[in-house]
């Protein structure tokens, strides 16, 4: 199977309007979209974050609707993680059938990660079927639910993991802008999100860097707003993961048609 180097940008290539315009047009070409459509995609994380800010300014009830348990942001996380899960399966199928078994296996690990994220968001079915949390788990889980990320002491690990995932999608895509060898560039273009998806990973990285490193304890008067704003960042990240899988599925489908 022939693979195009869609993830790379020729830094020295001439283009009017400077580097940013060149990146926009190259990114739109990689997606098969118009530059205007790509700009619209870049506005999605902005809209999600501004929605969270607007809800906070509207008052406690509005903010709870946007960020609360089983409310808008969490429901949308499940929707987009499920979307990413489905496209991940399609990517694995295409890679395996084309002989790219190593890449297919790597995407298998991503599939496991997405399944875990879905399970955690849904408390492994508890929110759907309504079973009771065991007494032992309820005693150590701050929300008394059947999940791991709310267990006292474990939640901090998840916060650092979120920061790592954010960094992965924020900084590693920049490698694809370098003049790498063709085999290395091909491999990286499959395991690293396209640089056009940086706006979906960067908010999580910078938010978790702020919360983990700069300000672990939010001001008492703003505890609810600050602590729950992570749901907004998780919403952005979930959309980014869905777009990552969609991008890879689209490129494989296009290459297979050639």
Q: How far apart are CA 33 and CA 194, in angstroms?
A: 14
178 or 210, greater pLDDT: 210
pLDDT digits (tens, 9 = 90+) for 68-77: 988 999 999 9
Which range (42-46, 86-90, 176-180) has the least confidence?
A: 176-180
Whether residue 5 is predicted with pLDDT greater than 80 in this model: the reply is no
> Which residues does 172 contact at the CB level (< 8 Å), separation at least 6?
188, 192, 193
> What would the mean pLDDT of 166-190 be, rounded to a whole number?
92
Look at residue 258 in the predicted model and tell me its pLDDT.
Answer: 56
Average pLDDT, the chain: 87
> Which residues does 38 contact at the CB level (< 8 Å), separation at least 6?
24, 27, 28, 31, 196
**119 burial class (0-12, 13-18, 19+ CB within 10 angstroms)?**
middle
pLDDT digits (tens, 9 = 90+) for 119-171: 888 877 777 777 777 777 777 777 767 767 767 777 788 899 999 999 999 99
Q: How far apart are CA 218 and CA 160, in angstroms?
A: 17
Look at residue 146 in the predicted model and tell me its pLDDT.
Answer: 73
Whether residue 229 is predicted with pLDDT greater than 90 in this model: the reply is yes
Judge whether 45 and 238 are in contact, CB under 8 Å. no
Which range (6-15, 129-138, 179-188, 208-217) has the least confidence?
A: 6-15
Look at residue 218 in the predicted model and tell me its pLDDT.
Answer: 81
Closest among 165, 194, 163, 190 to 177, alpha carbons compared: 194
> What would the mean pLDDT of 189-206 be, rounded to a whole number?
96
Look at residue 257 in the predicted model and tell me its pLDDT.
Answer: 55
Look at residue 14 in the predicted model and tell me its pLDDT.
Answer: 45
């Amino acid at each position: 199977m022939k693979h195009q180097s869609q993830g790379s940008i020729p830094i020295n290539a001439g283009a009017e309007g400077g580097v940013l315009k060149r990146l926009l047009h190259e990114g739109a070409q990689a997606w098969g979209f118009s530059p205007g459509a790509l700009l619209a995609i870049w506005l999605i994380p902005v809209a999600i974050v501004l929605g969270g800010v607007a809800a906070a300014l509207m008052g406690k009830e509005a903010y709870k609707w946007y960020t609360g348990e089983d409310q808008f942001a969490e429901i949308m996380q499940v929707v987009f993680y499920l979307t990413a899960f489905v496209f991940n399966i399609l990517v694995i199928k295409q890679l395996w059938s084309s002989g790219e078994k190593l890449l297919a296996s790597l995407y298998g690990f991503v599939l496991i990660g997405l399944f875990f994220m879905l399970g955690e968001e849904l408390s492994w079915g508890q929110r759907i079927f309504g079973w009771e949390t065991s007494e032992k788990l309820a005693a150590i889980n701050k929300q008394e639910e059947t999940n791991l990320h709310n267990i006292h002491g474990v939640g901090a690990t998840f916060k650092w993991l979120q920061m790592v995932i954010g960094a992965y999608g924020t900084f590693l895509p920049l490698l694809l802008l370098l003049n790498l060898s063709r085999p290395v560039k091909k491999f990286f273009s499959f395991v690293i999100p396209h640089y056009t998806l940086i706006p979906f990973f960067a908010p999580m990285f910078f938010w978790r860097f702020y919360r983990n490193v700069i300000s672990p304890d939010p001001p008492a008067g703003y505890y609810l707003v600050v602590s729950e704003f992570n749901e907004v960042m998780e919403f952005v990240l979930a959309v980014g993961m869905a777009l990552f899988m969609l991008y890879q599925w689209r490129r494989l489908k296009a290459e297979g048609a050639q």
